[in-house]
């Protein structure tokens, strides 16, 4: 991303980052801020910025571009997806998911794990799975939530009148 910026915003880039020490500090800051986005999404946001702006982007502008690229694919941001997965009812595959990637990331992170551990443990696991699915979607893969499993067919036995009366008699004897 910074190589793209250096090539496209040459003079602005060197004016903003005159030495390697400052550039390394900025890279660390940006890395922390953009960590929840898949690499492909960050690069897509950088390319979008280059195509639409004459000026070197700020971190805030890059965050906006990354969020916009998620919306272009119908994906919620990682935090919203995490909350959706954690709050989903059962059966999971029967819920109305905002996107199949949310369901699949929750499934891969393990529903039991998400429901029974603290956020500081579950968030990084879910975020990593979600980022993987976002990257796959941006690469053109189509994802689907599997259909919920059907309940097993139940046999309907019709008892004769005599059998029903006998069963009723047994129940009355137990109650008395």
How would you write the pLDDT of the chain (176 residues) with one tens digit per residue? 899 999 999 899 999 999 999 999 999 999 988 887 778 778 888 888 888 889 999 988 888 887 777 777 788 888 899 999 999 988 888 889 999 999 999 999 999 999 999 999 999 999 889 988 887 887 778 888 888 777 677 777 777 888 888 988 999 888 87
Helix, strand or coil, per DSSP, at residue 38 = coil
- Within a 10 A sphere around the Cβ of 142, how many other Cβ atoms? 7
Q: How far apart are the C-alpha atoms of 35 and 112, rounded to whole Å?
A: 25
Q: How far apart are the C-alpha atoms of 144 and 67, rounded to whole Å?
A: 22
Q: How far apart are the C-alpha atoms of 146 and 155, rounded to whole Å?
A: 27
pLDDT in tens, 123-148: 999 988 998 888 788 777 888 888 87
Virtual CA dihedral for 162, 164, 167, 173, nearest 10 degrees? -80
Q: How far apart are the C-alpha atoms of 57 and 33, rounded to whole Å?
A: 14
| Contact criterion met (CB below 8 Å) for 102 and 129 | no
| Count of CA atoms in the C-beta half-sphere (13 A) of 80 | 10
| Contact criterion met (CB below 8 Å) for 17 and 26 | yes
Q: Is the dihedral of CA 140, 122, 96, 44 positive or negative?
A: negative
Q: How far apart are the C-alpha atoms of 145 and 164, rounded to whole Å?
A: 44
Residue 12 burial (10 A CB sphere; 0-12, 13-18, 19+): middle
């Amino acid at each position: 991303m910074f190589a793209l910026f250096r090539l496209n915003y040459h003079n602005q880039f060197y004016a903003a980052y005159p030495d390697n020490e400052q550039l390394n500090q900025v890279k660390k800051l940006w890395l922390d801020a953009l960590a929840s986005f898949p690499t492909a999404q960050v690069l897509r946001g950088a390319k979008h910025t280059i195509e639409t702006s004459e000026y070197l982007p700020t971190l805030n502008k890059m965050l906006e571009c990354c969020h916009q690229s998620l919306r272009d694919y119908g994906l919620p941001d990682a935090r919203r997806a995490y909350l959706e997965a954690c709050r989903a009812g059962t059966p999971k595959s029967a819920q109305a998911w905002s996107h199949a990637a949310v369901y699949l990331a929750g499934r891969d992170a393990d529903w039991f794990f998400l429901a029974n551990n603290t956020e500081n443990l579950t968030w990084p696991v879910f975020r990593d799975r979600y980022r993987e699915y976002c990257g796959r979607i941006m690469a053109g893969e189509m994802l689907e939530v599997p259909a919920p499993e059907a309940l097993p067919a139940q046999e309907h036995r019709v008892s004769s009148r005599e059998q029903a009366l006998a069963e009723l008699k047994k129940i009355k004897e137990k109650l008395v």
